[in-house]
Structure 1
Amino acid sequence: MDLNELLQQAQRLTNETKMDTELPRVERTLSQVLQATQELHSRVTQTGTNDLQAHILLGSRGVDLPKLTQKLESLSARKSFEPLNPVSDTDVEGYLKNERENAIIAVIEETNVNIFKSVDRNRMRCIYAEWGEDKERLLNALVGPNQEDFPDVHRQMVSTVLPQEALPRSRLNRIESLYAQEICAYNQFKTAYIQQSSHRPNLLTKLTQLAKEKLNDIDNQVPEMWSVLSYMANVSPLVRNSDPIKARQTGPQFVQQALAYLEQCYKQYMNTVIQKNRLVGLRGGIPNVYNTVSSFVSISFQLPQSLVGLLDISNGRPLWSLVYYSLRSGDLGAAVQFLKEGGVCPDLLKLLQHKQQQQKHQQSHQQLGDQERPHTKLEGQLKLEYNNKLRVCTDPYKKAVYAIVLACDPHEPHQEVVRTIDDFLWMQLSMLCTAERSDYHIERLSYGGLQSLILDKYGENYFNAREKTPLYFQVLVLTGQFESAIEFLARTDVNRPHAVHMAIALNELSMLGTPSSVQQPLLSADPQDPAPMRRLNLARLIIMYTKCFEQTNTNEALQYYYLLRNFKAVDGRNLMLTCICDLLVENCDDQLLLLVFGNPDPHDPWGYSGGIFAQFSNMVQDKHVLATMVGDELAQRTKFEAAIKLYFIGGQLEKALRLLCSLLTQVVHQPARQGSMREHLVDITERMNLALAKRKLDVDDHVLGTYQLLSQLMKFFDYYHAGESRLATEVLAKHRIIPDNCREVDNCVSSLKLVGADIIKVLPDVLLAAMDLIYMEYQQVKTGHGSAPHDETSQGPGQGHSDSKEELLMNLRQRAKALTNMAATLPYRMPSDTNNRLVQLEILMH
């Protein structure tokens, strides 16, 4: 700084200290000033520190404390409604004063009483109205179909139309329904894309268009949020195997997109200002950035006082404002043109021309040569000029232009230029440390540093995020923090549908950072990620959102679960199948099974057509996996009948057969009744027989033998309860379930040891039924109403046909004896009632 500049600054300071009032200037020596300071300090310390602080506080706000003290002392402490003093009869002035105050008090008291009466009257009116509604509702509930029972009661007739099939009311509101329809259409379109290899659908574009067309009337800020997210995601597609967080932090394309968005918004703002001030703007010529900036600057600096402190003013327009707004609009060509016309700072002009040429090469995807590298020496000179002169420059626009072009001094607030959050973001993004600037050893701002500044240092309180939700969301998105922005939206019920579908759309484009485990919180930080990046648990977000309406809008819920097909649950299974499995286990009715798996084929036990899986060509095979998962879960919850249906769908014949055997052991001995579980199992048994005819080799021989034996026992009990004793006896004799004489007891016991536990559970009922049949035949023969059977097999091998009555009775006694011996010989604990009944019937035959 030379002496001339120092002299000019001294003169400017002298002019600023001059006062407009005509008071005499006081000139004191240093000793006089010191003495006056000591006297003032002694007076202040005597009054106390509290008075000093009060004087300082009130004086800084323009309050005259002595005058305020006088006003407070002049106030009367007398109460307004204190008793009036008695006056004498001759005191006319006092009498009139008392009468006037009595009148005022009377009016106030009367008004107070009227207010209380009015409030009480309105309160009682409301109470009576509520009581009347309750009485009317109760009487309407008491009134039956016959009006004559209550002749004085008037019912309110409400016309209602009940549907034939009452469905639960949808829990999706209008916004959620619109989003759900778009998700369903996207899933179907994507399936067609996989089949036909056509153009890949872009869900983010579809949802952004939906927000602009149908959600703008609900909240005009929602389309703006979708627009900024769509603009930021409009970059070259990322590789699906790459990590979205690392790709976003290392690639400069997201920074360029944010700058382009902010510059485009500012150009729209300038055009809006010009349209409102056409006479002042006088925009003409070609509609480009150069003319737009010229008109905008003419409007902004039309007052003479707005040019105070600005440099290089020509025709009422400051040069550096023109250059700054050209850079703010993203047009380096306009900034170069303005600098050429101004004829100042040739070094800065040369650097801007180089950046313009470099920008053209980047747009044409050409590599820079060695001669096109940034001018290191030129930038160094300009930085030196900025540090020496421009830090105290009176023109804030010139200072901002140098800081932006040189990408230096990131902590300078530039308060005269930066007026909005968008301006602040654009300024910070323009000065970020990129690859081409990494060789300068000066203080720079990194992308992660800017993100930490927005998320951690400033945070939600600084931006008043609760009241200005769209603003904070846009700031996070423009700084590449998609996950934190979506999680912030998902905290409120109003914005949760938008947040869920934003996350879905970004995930379909492979731009959403998700954690490795679905058990992570909704927003988590991975130690391997650069700070302050977060990861959003999309699976948890979708499940939380879908659980609210999966009971009433099951079809839409399944469409959302389809989006989780690429995620893995904790146990390693497909998360989509796990979610649908939980839904089916909780509500395993026929209607839901038809919705998921389709209609069964009556001719093919394994054929199912339709269902939600028919819409997804790549999930057809997973239908069997899902059915098996649901069947296993239902079997663990002892819902065997429903589990058998699911095992049929999943093709698990052996598992279905095992459960069917377990159920048959519980009902095989019961008589057939309409609507009973035994009747349902008969239908399942017929379908099982049809399936075994085609896939008999897929079942274990031991399980198959148990099932076949239980099927024969079911026929036996059907004959038994129907009174067909001969047919029932033939079934037992054909399969050698019980012995015909004492010599066959050991063989029968040995064969029963080889069968499963399901047959042992039915054996006591089989023995009782067989003993009952023998006793009935014994009574018929003894009374002469029965005769010897004509089939030799009914008396067992080795026994001859005897017409003698005694021999036939003896044969029946031997068969009864064999049953009791078998019950006593079995290595299983038989019920005591069974043994007692068997012994009683045997005794009755002697």
Structure 2
Amino acid sequence: MDLGDLLRQAQRLTNDTKMDEEMPRVDRTISQVLQATQELHSRVTLTGTHDLQAHMLLGSKGVDLPKLTQKLESLSSRKTFEPLDPVSDTDVRAFLRNERENAILSVIDETNRSIFESVERQKWRRIYAEWGEEKESLLNALVGPKQDEFPDVQRQSVSTTLPENPTPRSLLNRTEQLYAEEVAAYNQSQIQRGHRSNLLKACARLAEEQLDNPLVAEMWSVLQFMTDNGPATRTVDPIKSRQSLTQQARTYLERRYKQYMKTVINENRVLAKRGGIPSAYHMVNSFVGINFVQPATLVGLQDVNNGRPLWALVYYSLRCGDLSAASKYLQEAGVCSDLFRLLAMMKDGTKGEQYARLEGVLKLEYNSKMRSCSDPYKKAVYAYVLACDPQNSHPELMRSIDDFLWMQLSILREDNEREYNIEQLTYSGLQSLILEKYGENYFNAREKAPLYFSVLILTGQFESAIEFLARTEATRPHAVHMAIALNEIHMLSTPSSMHQPLISVNPEDPTPMKRLNLVRMLVTYAKCFELTNTREALHYYFLLRHFKDDNGSSLMLSCVSDLLVETCDQQMIELIFGSETDKSAQSGIFAQFHTMDFDKYMLAGMVGDKLAHRSNFEAAIKLYFIGGQLDKVMRLVCSMLSQVVHQSPKESSVRNRLVPIIDRLDELRSVMRVDVEPHVLATYTMLTQLLIFFDHYHNKDSQLAIEVLANYRITPNNCSEVDECVANLKRLGPEVAKVLPDIMLAAMDLVYQEYLQLKGVSATSRSSFGSRDSTQTDDWKDVNKEGSLRHLRTKAKALTNMAATVPYRMPTATNKRLVQLEILMH
């Protein structure tokens, strides 16, 4: 190779190393190349140097290097550096193993627990059994008493035989039974005499005389007193008239306190020194004399009248409701002339410009002086007269809830009398204070139910009070009858819809008034005993006669019809409507509740409609018979006959049970007119004849069955009658069309059996007569037989033609069988 070739190769290599991009080139010097070479050399010899140092270190420590080398060579690094298969994060095998072990452990633990509980139960059962045996042995060891020691004990014999017609045991306790009798007497007085007695007074008298519970009697007494002057018509909204009961509540509290004062005076006659003059003035004077004997009780009191604190005398006069006595005490003391004149105007009921002026002057005096007054009785008197300062609860004088409630009722102002520049208490505010702010927890209503009930009643919250009583089973009967009594005197507010909850709020009513769903309460109460005490339940339902259900019918009819639908047996029907043999309009207990709006015949029709809607046709037919609705009976009979008329008669079957119903319907049709559509009557007539036809058919009375078909033109005798029979079917109802396939099969079977009978007689006659003399007779008989057979074939052909012509979809099996029998006759 010359220098030229070497130069060309160098240029080629240079061109190959050049890149397309314009990159900067690096030119190294000789010293840089030497340095890079040394670095590469040190990297290559580094491993060998480390190995030499390791040998020197291990040898100095006494390690056998040849054996160590052999052991290291025996180690295989192939498996270590082989590529590993990818392993997922979830170990399914381990998960399943853990689940299996957990399942086994849970089963073992559950079994252990159940065994322990079973052993524990058996142990205690055995302990109780041993205790019972020990108790029995101890009682048996006692000496029995002699009959002479208990001469007045009457032994009651218990019958061991059951009556033939057992009656269910009453579910009403004594209290509920007494209330039910009172409701029944109230209803009878309305129905028979036409006037409305006072159910509330009757129940209050019952509670006082027969219930032997003074707390219940007191609740009825409060309710009766509050409703003495209530609205008498349904046109008055009971909620809007509630504020007029404020004076009634105050009067009740004042009378109670007056009675309390008399009791205290009678117990302390020596201190009272009342004398013989029966007046509130002297009674208050004696009462104050008893309460203010100790000097400590007079601390802070102002003004004295005849040795007694003046403002205490005035306050207790107002507390027992006697304004005259309060005015007399002020007049005798000669103080607060403006207050005296204002009390006189309040007593006379005159309110005018002078009254407003005096009231304004006294309010200024109260705001400037009375708030810092040390006499609590004086402050209470001013608050009573001026009806102001509701925030001052007068704790020194409030010794009971009656005192607090009386004071709150005394300072009430009606909405049209309110002065918006000062703070005053309204009727709605007092109701919210009692019901919402204080509530059941403050009054401990769970243990003091009569007290909380009385407070709600006195503040005009009848619905909330009754709903509170209805929560517990012991007081629920009283709550139900209180609601009934209030509703009968039009003082109970009820919601517009019967589907509302027991207690609800109407947005149009003032806060916090509620509405009580009397329908829900009464129906729920009567449902508990309507099966065992049906007569009493009907009396409760009679109270709902003015309420309407969603369909606009009387709610009483709806409740009684629901009762009959749920338990529609013969005994219940006879109890409500009377026996079938008794044709009088007064039979049955429902006849007691006859009104201008409904009677037992209307009820029977309503119950029949509901039973028919539930497909209980047989029970519905019984009710339709009672209600005299024979047209509906006829429709149901047609519907039932279309399903069973083709079946063979069997004992206790639906088909057999329809026979007496049809007989009874035909008997009633002969004596009374039935308004029913012509096609329904024609369908009924046809189905009853088909019933007779199938009776003959199943009894093998072929001739009678054929006569029924021929008389009523049900099936054709020849092809020319097919159109006529089809037209007759179109005039009938769909019930006949349902049974048409069975009619066609039965008719074809009759024709085929007659055909076989004729064929058999013909073959027998040929084998019996073989002489020449009978040849002519046989030929004549053969001609007649052949004509009869031809007629039967024609009749069979007409049946198949009719099956193909009728505008109904005949079952495939029916058509197949008809054609098969026709072919067999050829």
| Bin for the TM-score computed over the shorter chain | 0.7 to 0.9
Letter of the 2:319 counterpart: R
CA distance in 2, matches of 1:244, 1:531: 14
Letter of the structure 2 residue corresponding to residue 275 of structure 1: N
Match of 2:329 among 316, 338, 343: 338
Is this contact kept in 2: 1:780–1:786, CA < 8 A?
no
* Alignment pair present for 1:467 and 2:444: no
- How many Å separate the matches in 1 of 2:378 and 2:646? 100
Distance 1:158 1:205, change over 3 A: closer
Note closer, same or farther for the CA distance 1:724–1:588 as it changes in structure 2 (3 Å cut): same
Question: Once the two structures are superposed, what CA deviation does each residue of 1:760-816 show, in whole Å capped at 9, x if it has no partner?
Answer: 2222222232233333333444444999xxxxxxxxxxxxx9992322232223223
Unaligned runs of 5+ in 1: 1-119, 135-156, 359-367, 788-800
Are positions 1:210 and 2:203 aligned together? no
Structure 2 distance, partners of 1:582, 1:228, is: 37
C-alpha distance 401-293 of structure 1, shift in aligned 2 (>3 A): same
**1:391 positional shift:** 1.5
Does the aligned pair in 2 maintain the 1:598–1:608 contact within 8 Å?
A: no
Residue pairs, 1:114-263, within 5 angstroms = 125-129=127-131, 160-194=160-194, 198=195, 200-216=196-212, 219-249=213-243, 252=244, 254-263=245-254
Check conservation: 1:613, 1:620, Cα contact below 8 A.
no
In the TM superposition, residue 482 of structure 1 has moved relative to its aligned partner by 0.6
CA contact (8 A) 1:665 1:762 kept: yes
Could you tell me whether the CA contact under 8 Å between 1:285 and 1:291 is conserved in 2?
no
Whole-angstrom CA distance in 2 between matches of 1:616 and 1:552: 19
Which residue in 2 is equivalent to 1:699?
676
Counterpart for residue 341 of structure 2: 350
Note the alpha carbon deviations across 1:705-748, whole angstroms, 9 max, x for none: 10110011112122233343322221110111001112222332
On the 8 A contact 2:418/2:424 being kept in 1, the answer is no
One-letter amino acid matched to 2:172: L
- 1:733 matches 2:729: no
Preserved contact between residue 802 and residue 808 of structure 1 (Cα < 8 Å): no
Residue deviations 1:429-451, cap 9 Å, x none?
11111489546853221111111
Note the 1:17-28 alignment, pairs <5 A.
Answer: none
* 2:310 and 2:329 in contact (8 A); partners too: yes
- Give the gaps of 5 or more residues in structure 2: 1-121, 137-156, 765-780
Measured after TM superposition, the shift of residue 211 of structure 1 is 0.8
CA contact (8 A) 1:600 1:609 kept: no
Q: d(CA) in 1 for partners of 2:126 and 2:286?
A: 68
Task: Measure, in 2, the Cα distance between the counterparts of 1:484 and 1:272.
Answer: 33
**Please, which of 721, 746, 763 is the counterpart of residue 769 of structure 1?**
746
Question: How far, CA to CA, are the matches of 1:192 and 1:513 in structure 2?
Answer: 28
Structure 1 residues 773 and 131: alpha-carbon distance in aligned structure 2, compared to 1, 3 A threshold: farther
Structure 2 matches for 1:269-668, cutoff 5 A? 269-314=260-305, 316-358=307-349, 375-434=355-414, 437-438=417-418, 441-600=421-580, 609-618=586-595, 621-668=598-645
Q: Which residue of 2 aligns with 1:760?
A: 737
Q: Which amino acid aligns with 2:541?
A: Y
Tell which deviates more after alignment, 462-471 or 236-245: 236-245
Give the 3 Å change call, closer, same or farther, for CA 314–158 of structure 1 in structure 2: closer
Note closer, same or farther for the CA distance 1:786–1:228 as it changes in structure 2 (3 Å cut).
farther
**Worse overlay, 205-214 or 678-687:** 678-687
Contact 2:631 2:674 in 1 (8 A): no
* 1:192 partner letter: Q
Distance 1:610 1:129 in 2: 59
Are the counterparts in 1 of residues 238 and 490 from structure 2 also a CA contact under 8 Å? yes
Matched residue, 1:682:
659
Q: Structure 2: how far apart are the matches of 1:614 and 1:775? A: 59
- Counterpart CA distance in 2 for 1:388 and 1:373 is 23
Quote the Cα distance in structure 1 between the aligned partners of 2:235 and 2:720. 75
Whether contact under 8 Å (1:211, 1:226) holds in the other structure is yes
Change (3 A) 1:124 1:746: closer
For 1:822-837, list aligned pairs within 5 A: 822-837=802-817
Whole-Å Cα distance in 1 between the matches of residues 460 and 230 of structure 2?
15
Shift of 1:505: 0.5
Change in Cα spacing, 1:374 to 1:170, as seen in structure 2 (3 Å) is: farther
Q: How far has the Cα of 1:515 moved from its partner?
A: 1.0
* SS state at 1:698 partner: coil
Structure 1 residues 158 and 244: CA distance shift in structure 2, 3 A: closer
SS, match of residue 743 in structure 1: helix
CA distance in 1, matches of 2:346, 2:623: 68
Task: Measure how far apart 1:236 and its partner are.
Answer: 4.6
* Shift in alpha-carbon separation, 1:265–1:758, aligned structure 2, 3 A: same
Q: Describe the superposition over 1:4-48 as per-residue Cα deviations: whole angstroms up to 9, x where unpaired.
A: xxxxxxxxxxxxxxxxxxxxxxxxxxxxxxxxxxxxxxxxxxxxx
Q: What's the offset of the Cα at 1:477? A: 0.5
Question: CA–CA distance in 1 between the matches of 2:414 and 2:615?
Answer: 64
CA contact (8 A) 2:305 2:332 kept: no
Q: Is the contact between residue 823 and residue 835 of structure 1 (CA under 8 Å) also seen in structure 2?
A: yes
Q: CA deviation at 1:427?
A: 0.6
- Identify the residue that residue 690 of structure 2 maps to in structure 1: 713
Q: Quote the Cα distance in structure 2 between the aligned partners of 1:164 and 1:422.
A: 59
Give me the whole-angstrom Cα distance separating, in 2, the residues matched to 1:132 and 1:160: 30
**TM-score relative to the length of structure 1:** 0.74
The alpha-carbon deviation at position 388 of structure 1 amounts to: 1.9
Q: Distance in 2 between matches of 1:121 and 1:822?
A: 82
Share of identical aligned residues, percent? 58
CA distance in structure 2 between the partners assigned to 1:275 and 1:449 by the alignment: 39
Shift of 1:612: 3.5
Q: Is the 8 A contact 1:601 1:609 kept in 2?
A: no
Does the CA-based 8 Å contact 1:600-1:608 persist in structure 2?
no
Instruction: Tell me which residue corresponds to 1:56.
Output: none
Q: Deviations over 1:322-367 (max 9, x none)?
A: 1111110001111122222223222222222222222xxxxxxxxx
Shift of 1:634: 1.7
Q: How many residues align?
A: 669
For the 8 Å contact 1:741–1:814, the answer to whether it is kept is yes
Equivalent residue number for residue 44 of structure 1? none
Quick check: which has more Rg, 1 or 2?
2
Letter in 1 for 2:229: V
Counterpart CA distance in 1 for 2:358 and 2:796 is 118
Post-superposition offset of 1:651 = 3.9
Instruction: Tell me the CA shift for residue 123 of structure 1.
Output: 8.8
Looking at structure 1, the residues matched to 613 and 683 of structure 2 have their Cα atoms a distance apart, in angstroms, of: 22
Sort the Cα spacing of 1:375 and 1:320 in 2 relative to 1 into closer, same or farther, 3 A: same
- Aligned in 2, Cα 1:122/1:666: closer, same or farther, shift over 3 Å? closer
8 A Cα contact 1:168 1:552, kept in partner:
yes
1:204 is displaced (CA, Å) by 0.4
Alpha-carbon distance in structure 2 between the residues aligned to 1:376 and 1:696? 80
Q: Is the contact made by 1:550 and 1:557 (CA closer than 8 Å) also made in structure 2?
A: yes
Q: TM-score, normalised by structure 2?
A: 0.76
Q: Tell me the secondary structure at the aligned position of residue 418 of structure 1.
A: coil
Structure-2 residue corresponding to 1:112: none
Q: Residue deviations 1:201-232, cap 9 Å, x none?
A: 0110011111111112xx32111111101100
